[in-house]
């Protein structure tokens, strides 16, 4: 068996009691669908909440049984790597470091752009849901392209964004979630002198705070975290990026010196931030955002909450609620690259130490069970961002970085 026939992929397989299990399987390298496609060898891949959804940690199987991948989706969509086999029809050359845009849009499929792709709303590409559409909607949910947690992924050349040599992998892996934040922030406005609050101190919340500092520089900026270690990570982003608070709307209202009012049995903050971004993605975080935002203000939700049982603040406070999902290519009032992932790379290149502040745990693929235990129990392990790395950094004194499972 050649080296290319021993490629590892992490696949999602049906488990017991309705919970999936993850397995490391070996098989051939992903096939390239055409001359515009290339192979990227993964160096660092992020562990995202969407990767973990529905996975029972008791069902993680780290063995490599040697079975083919079959129709099981390969996991991982936050991908930094090196071009191993370049596309024949253009794109980055072999050996070039890249970050991968994970969405499989109309352009990737070689079809005419749908109305959403034409307008730059790639996260709503209509080809995702077309009957019989190959490859799924993105890396991490595809049965044939490979996933970022494995060794190799097949990607269309338009999915690649070259990385500058000065940008380390540990920071570059944050480009994909930062792109989500930046594309969402293009939908909202906040006047100089106003206050902006971000709800959520996880990876997306911290990167949203970083984006808010760039997009809205002359505003007071707050970040509401659930845990003290998240607030510490926010402070490590740099002086003046954000004011981290541990708590919800009540803590923010106290910091801002605001009053609560009872409107028909609902307690709501009066005079809160004009813009609140929900980057935690839960029903509770959206409720907190709606309670905190000012009358006539805007709430932007980035975290894809599955439900919110109390939306009364929408009409009681005349709130504008804007939902956003994934990436876009849109003109921005503040300038920069229209493509949100390219703009994320540009911003991180100016702040290459962000990965030092946010990537708290890195593991080799062989330690997948340990990596997922940490990612699924972040508060116990004081974890902000967990990654799988081909050569994880050694443990340091100012952050927890694990080379192997203890």
CATH number of 390's domain:
3.90.180.10
Closest among 215, 197, 194, 242 to 357, alpha carbons compared = 242
What the block records as the tokens of 7 is: 């490629």
Average pLDDT over every residue of 128-139 = 83
If one counts every other C-beta atom within 10 angstroms of the C-beta of residue 257, the result is 7
Answer yes or no: is pLDDT of 364 > 90: yes
Residue 321 dihedral angles phi and psi, to the nearest 5°? -105, 125
pLDDT at 68: 43
pLDDT value of residue 143: 77
The alpha carbon of residue 200 and the mean position of all alpha carbons in its chain are separated, in whole angstroms, by: 13
What is the DSSP secondary-structure string of 127-160? GGGSTT-TT-SBTTSBSSS--TTSSEEEEEGGGE
Same domain membership, residue 303 and residue 224: yes
Q: Are 264 and 181 in contact (CB under 8 A)?
A: no
| One domain for residues 361 and 283 | no
Chain mean pLDDT for the chain? 88
Residue 301 binned pLDDT confidence (cut-offs 50, 70, 90): very high
- Whether 259 and 287 map to the same domain: the answer is yes
pLDDT confidence tier of residue 403, bands split at 50, 70 and 90: very low
Number of domain units in the chain: 2
Same-domain check for residues 300 and 336: no
139 with 11, same domain?
yes
**Cα-trace Rg, the chain:** 21
Q: Are 148 and 9 in contact (CB under 8 A)?
A: no
- What is the extent of the structural domain holding 19? 1-185+328-406
279 and 208 fall within a common domain: yes
Q: What percent of the chain has pLDDT over 90?
A: 69
Q: Which of 285, 303, 323 is the last residue of a domain?
A: 323
Name 118's Cβ contacts closer than 8 Å, sequence gap at least 6: none
* CA angle at 48 for the pair 47 and 51, rounded to the nearest 5°: 90
pLDDT in tens, 147-206: 999 999 999 999 999 999 999 999 999 999 999 999 999 999 999 999 999 999 999 999
Report the alpha-carbon angle 108-113-114, nearest 5.
Answer: 120
8 Å CB contact between 377 and 361: no
Q: Which pTM was predicted?
A: 0.90
Q: Are residues 175 and 51 in the same domain?
A: yes
Looking at the fold, whether 317 and 193 belong to one and the same domain comes out as yes
Helices 249-256 and 283-292, axial angle in degrees (round to 10): 20
Question: Which of 323, 351, 376 delimits the end of a domain?
Answer: 323
Look up residue 242 and give its DSSP letter: -
| pLDDT, tens only, 53-105 | 766 655 555 443 333 445 678 899 999 999 999 999 889 999 999 999 999 99
Residues 18 and 88 in one domain: yes
Taking alpha carbons only, the member of 123, 90, 129 closest to residue 329 is 123
CATH assignment at residue 204: 3.40.50.720
pLDDT at res. 38: 96
319 and 351 in a single domain? The answer is: no
Query: Considering 293, 323, 353, which residue would you say is the last residue of a domain?
Result: 323
Q: Are residues 84 and 228 in the same domain?
A: no
The predicted structure's pLDDT at residue 401: 36
Distance CA 122, CA 114 (A): 10
pLDDT of residue 391 exceeding 80, the answer is no
Residues 304, 347 within the same domain: no
């Amino acid at each position: 068996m050649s080296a290319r026939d021993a490629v590892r992929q992490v696949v999602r397989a049906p488990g017991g009691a309705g919970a999936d299990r993850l397995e490391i399987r070996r098989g051939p390298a992903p096939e390239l669908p055409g001359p515009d496609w290339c192979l990227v060898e993964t160096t660092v891949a992020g562990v995202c909440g969407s990767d973990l959804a529905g996975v029972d940690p008791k069902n993680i199987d780290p063995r490599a049984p040697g079975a083919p991948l079959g129709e099981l989706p390969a996991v991982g969509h936050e991908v930094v790597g090196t071009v191993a086999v370049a596309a024949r029809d253009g794109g980055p050359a072999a050996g070039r470091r890249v970050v991968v845009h994970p969405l499989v849009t109309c352009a990737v499929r070689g079809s005419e752009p749908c109305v959403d792709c034409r307008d730059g709303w790639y996260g709503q590409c209509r080809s995702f849901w077309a009957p019989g559409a190959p490859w799924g909607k993105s890396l991490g949910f595809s049965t044939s392209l490979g996933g970022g947690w494995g060794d190799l992924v097949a990607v269309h050349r338009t999915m690649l964004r070259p990385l500058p040599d000065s940008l380390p992998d540990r920071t570059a892996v944050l480009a994909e979630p930062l792109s989500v934040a930046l594309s969402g922030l293009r939908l909202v406005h906040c006047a100089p002198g106003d206050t902006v609050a971000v709800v959520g101190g996880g990876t997306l919340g911290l990167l949203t705070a970083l984006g808010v500092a760039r997009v809205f520089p002359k505003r007071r900026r707050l970040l509401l975290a659930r845990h003290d270690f998240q607030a510490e990570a926010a402070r490590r982003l740099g002086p003046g990026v954000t004011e981290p608070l541990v708590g919800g709307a009540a803590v923010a209202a106290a910091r801002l010196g605001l009053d609560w009012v009872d409107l028909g049995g609902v307690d709501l903050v009066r005079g809160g931030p004009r813009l609140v971004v929900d980057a935690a993605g839960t029903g509770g975080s959206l409720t907190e955002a709606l309670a905190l935002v000012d009358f006539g203000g805007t709430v932007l939700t980035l975290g894809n909450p599955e439900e919110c049982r109390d939306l009364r603040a929408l009409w009681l406070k005349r709130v504008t609620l804007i939902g956003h999902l994934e990436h876009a290519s849109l003109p921005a009032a503040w300038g920069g690259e229209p493509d949100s992932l390219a703009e994320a790379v540009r911003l991180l290149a100016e702040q290459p130490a962000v990965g030092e502040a946010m990537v708290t745990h890195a593991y080799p693929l062989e330690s997948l069970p340990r990596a997922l235990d940490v990612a699924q129990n972040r508060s116990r392990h004081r974890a902000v961002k967990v990654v799988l790395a081909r050569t994880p950094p050694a443990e340091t004194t100012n952050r927890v970085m694990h080379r192997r499972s203890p």
